[in-house]
Structure 1
Amino acid sequence: MPKSVHDSACKLVYLCRNPKDTFVSLWQFADKFKPVETGSNSLGDVFDLFCKGYEELKEEPNLHLRRLAELLGCPFSADEEETGMVEEILKLCSFNNLSNLEINKSTEKLAYGMENKTFFRRGEVGDWKNHLTTEMAKKIDQITEQKFSGSGLLL
C-alpha cells in the first residue's frame, strides 16, 4: 500500500474472496456474454487463460457487520442491537434477498443485452470444488501466493 495510506487516518476494509470461487463465478458470468452461436468455452479452456475474507464474512456475518460499523465510527447502540437492526441489515443485504428483488428478476435487457439476474449465480462458499480439477486449484493457489507474496495481505 502507498505510504500515504499508512500515514493517514483513513480506514480501510479489505475483503477477499477465495480466488477459486471467484474464478468459477467469473467463468460462468463471462460465458453468458458470448453469442449463442459461438457456444460455451469449457472451464479448462478458460482456466488456461485465467492463469480469509469472503468465506469468513459468510460464516459470521453478524460479527463482521458489527466490526465494520465500529470501524466506520458508527457502532450499533444497545437499542439498535435489541430491536434487531443488525439482523435486519443482514437480511436486506443477503444474497437471497438481493437476488430475489423484482428488479433482479426482470427480463428487461441492460447494456450488452444482459439481464440483472445474470449477476447472481449461487453465492456459496467452496462451490469451486464442483468445477475445478485438483491441478487447476493448485495452479490458482500458486499464482495467488506469487502475486500476494510480501504484500502483508492474507487470503
Structure 2
Amino acid sequence: MYEEIKTQPKLYLKRLAEFLECQFSIEEEKCGVVDEILRMCSFDNLNNLEVNRNEKLSSGEENKAYFCKGKVGDWKTYFTKEMSEKLDHIIKQKFQGSELSFLYI
C-alpha cells in the first residue's frame, strides 16, 4: 500500500527489484544507486520536471492538474463524508472475496 511504501521506500524498491529479478548488487547499493533511483522517482522530483509543469495534454488541460500533494491521507481534503462512504461501498462490492484490503488514513 502507498502508506507502507512512504514509510520505507528503500525496502519496497529492493523488493520490487527482487520481484523483477534484477536485484541490486552490493556495489550498486554502496555507490548509492538505490538512493538515486528513489530521488529520481520521488514525488517532488517528478512533480517539478519541466514537462510535468508546463506541458499541456491533448485535451488542453495542464499536466499539473494530475498531480496531488503526494501525502498520505490528503484525499480527505477533496472528498466529502458522503463521497467517502460511497467509495467505501463500491470498493467493498468490487473486491468482495479477494484478499485485498484497504486502509484509509
Same-fold status (TM-score > 0.5): yes
* Partner of residue 5, structure 2: 57
1:112-151 matched pairs, under 5 angstroms: 112-151=59-98
Counterpart among 10, 28, 35 of residue 87 in structure 1: 35
- State the SS of the aligned residue for 2:59: helix
Q: Which amino acid aligns with 1:69?
A: A
Q: Which amino acid aligns with 2:96?
A: S
* Partner of residue 51, structure 2: 103
Counterpart among 22, 33, 36 of residue 74 in structure 1: 22
TM-score normalized by structure 2? 0.83
- State the SS of the aligned residue for 2:94: helix
Q: Which segments of structure 1 move beyond 4 Å, counting only runs of 4 or more? A: none
Alpha-carbon deviation of 1:154? 2.8
Q: Percent identity?
A: 56
Query: Relative to 1, partners in 2 of residues 1:122 and 1:90: Cα closer, same or farther, differing over 3 Å?
Result: same
Cα distance between partner residues in 1 of 2:24 and 2:95: 34
Query: Relative to 1, partners in 2 of residues 1:118 and 1:133: Cα closer, same or farther, differing over 3 Å?
Result: closer
Q: Which structure has the higher relative contact order (CA within 8 Å, separation 6+)?
A: 1
Cα distance between partner residues in 2 of 1:102 and 1:131: 26
Gaps of 5+ in 2: none
Aligned length: 102
Query: Relative to 1, partners in 2 of residues 1:139 and 1:114: Cα closer, same or farther, differing over 3 Å?
Result: closer
TM-score normalized by structure 1? 0.59
Gaps of 5+ in 1: 1-52
